[in-house]
Amino acid sequence: MNNSKNADSTTVLSKPTRRQFLGGAAAGTAAAVTMGFPAIVSAQTPVNFRFQSTWPTVDIFHEYALDFAKKINDMTGGELKIEVLPAGAVVPAFALLDAVSKGTLDGGHGVLGYNYGKQNALALFSSGPAFGMDANMVLAWHKYGGGKELLDKLYSQIGGNVVTFLTGPMPTQPFGWFKKPITKVEDLKGLKFRTNGLAIDLFTAMGAAVNALPGGEIVPALDRGLLDGAEFNNATSDRLLGFPDVSKVCMLQSFHQSSETFEIIFNKDKYNALPDKLKAIIANGVEAASADMSWKAVDRYSQDYIKLQKEDGVRFYKTPDSILSQQLVVWDQIIAEKSKTNPLFKEIDESQRAFAARAMAWDMDTNNNRRMAYNHYFGRKPAPKKS
């Protein structure tokens, strides 16, 4: 073997010409494209979705809808752009489901209780005591305990052409705002009261004259004397909507809506036409917005709870246990009656009950008594005894 010849052939390199260099670069680019490495990314035409919330612009709930849209818009890098309009911009708040189903709107942000009139079982996802579960537990049941499949089945039954996501666990809602404290069940007799969902059945059975109104119409009705009392949701929403301008008494704690969540819906045809990547971003964006909303709620609601007392002169009262226990009794009666005539209502109720039985046992046995810790650190301590 002639080693010197081989050495010469491998070490002596000719200087490439400009034409050779450009030709090689072009070949390399073509090879990269063939192998799946894009050299140039072409701009895609953005998909624009028009959303409407069921909330006035002043309400923090509309802010939550905007927060969700921003997350999606940011994560898709402009491939999907969601524009959020307030209640009434296209359709009234209670007409959102129909508008999205028909494609008048591409999607929306609301609550299931607003669709109660189409199928009363919808309200089981948002009204009532939920067997003691808080809203985060209801979301756990929805995702892992069969609730999502049941909700899809329910929408299919009523012809809802939508894809639905539950999101945003709400804290226990106040019993309501009144002219004077409600101290016993008899105080509800003949009281003109606003609520929604299955809470309509609950308070009607307890003697109230109930009227369902969208959030933006409640305070004007209270101001004109069309209502004697009303509930909406939380310290921030209630303050922004003007409740302390027409009432100075708010009763805290109630089982009528102790575990409500928000709902984000899309027109099914528009949603199914999206690429899988955008569908995945939406699904994960819903959960990100849900967590962020729950954190924002703690911060904002606690601030406005203090402002309502110190700046607006509102007096808060705990709803008496006698009223709370009666709510549970009446709720059971309502559930039993509706289950007799609505098989899907019964199926949803039983699924939720089975999940709550184990989730609640685990929760109560595992988590500390927070009231004990609060009283230790912030509660009024007895004065030291004089010697």
Show the tokens assigned to 310.
């110190």
Q: Is 231 annotated as a binding residue?
A: yes
pLDDT higher than threshold 60 for residue 235? yes
What is d(CA 164, CA 256) in angstroms, rounded to the nearest whole number?
A: 23
Model pLDDT, residue 383? 60
Can you give the CATH number for the domain in which 158 is found? 3.40.190.170
β-partners of residue 320 are none
Does residue 381 form part of some domain?
no
What is d(CA 303, CA 239) in angstroms, rounded to the nearest whole number?
A: 11
Residue 212: which H helix or E strand, with range?
none
What is d(CA 6, CA 148) in angstroms, rounded to the nearest whole number?
A: 72
Q: Is 173 annotated as a binding residue?
A: yes
Please compute the mean of the pLDDT values over residues 37-52 and round it to a whole number.
70
As for how many domains the chain has, the answer is: 1
The average confidence (pLDDT) of the chain is 89
Q: Kindly report, residue by residue over 139-188, the tens digit of the pLDDT.
A: 999 999 999 999 999 999 999 999 999 999 999 999 999 999 999 999 99
Residue listed under structure tokens 């329910």: 154
What's the burial of 66, exposed, middle or buried (CB within 10 Å: 0-12/13-18/19+)?
Answer: middle
Q: What is the dihedral of CA 300, 301, 304, 310, to 10 degrees?
A: -130
pLDDT higher than threshold 50 for residue 39? no
How does residue 16 score in pLDDT terms, banded at 50, 70 and 90?
very low
pLDDT higher than threshold 90 for residue 36? no
Beta-strand pair 229-230/176-178: antiparallel
Q: Measured over all CA atoms, what is the biggest interatomic distance in the chain, rounded to whole angstroms?
A: 113
The phi, psi pair for 229, rounded to 5°, reads -160, 160
Does residue 351 form part of some domain?
no
Does residue 196 form part of some domain?
no
- Residue 105, domain extent: 47-170+260-298
pLDDT higher than threshold 60 for residue 61? yes
Q: Which amino acid is at 221?
A: A
Does residue 36 form part of some domain?
no
Does residue 276 form part of some domain?
yes
Model pLDDT, residue 385? 62
Q: Is 232 annotated as a binding residue?
A: yes
Model pLDDT, residue 386? 60
Query: How far lies 242's CA from each of 135, 178, 223, 250, in Å?
Result: 26, 14, 10, 13
Q: What angle do CA 306, 370, 256 make, to 5 degrees?
A: 70
Does residue 20 form part of some domain?
no
Give percent of the chain above pLDDT 90. 82
Q: Kindly report, residue by residue over 92-124, the tens digit of the pLDDT.
A: 999 999 999 999 999 999 999 889 889 999 989
Does residue 145 form part of some domain?
yes
Q: Is 303 annotated as a binding residue?
A: no
Please compute the mean of the pLDDT values over residues 306-333 and round it to a whole number.
97
pLDDT higher than threshold 50 for residue 40? no
Please compute the mean of the pLDDT values over residues 327-342 and round it to a whole number.
96
Q: What is the pTM of this model?
A: 0.85
Query: Which of 141, 173, 373 is closest to 256 using CA atoms?
Result: 173
Q: Kindly report, residue by residue over 241-286, the tens digit of the pLDDT.
A: 999 999 999 999 999 999 999 999 999 999 999 999 999 999 999 9
Does residue 74 form part of some domain?
yes
Q: Is 194 annotated as a binding residue?
A: yes
How does residue 199 score in pLDDT terms, banded at 50, 70 and 90?
very high
Query: Which of 42, 40, 45, 41 is closest to 79 using CA atoms?
Result: 45
Show the tokens assigned to 24.
């090689």
Helix axis angle for 321-341 and 343-366, nearest 10°, is: 140
β-partners of residue 66 are none
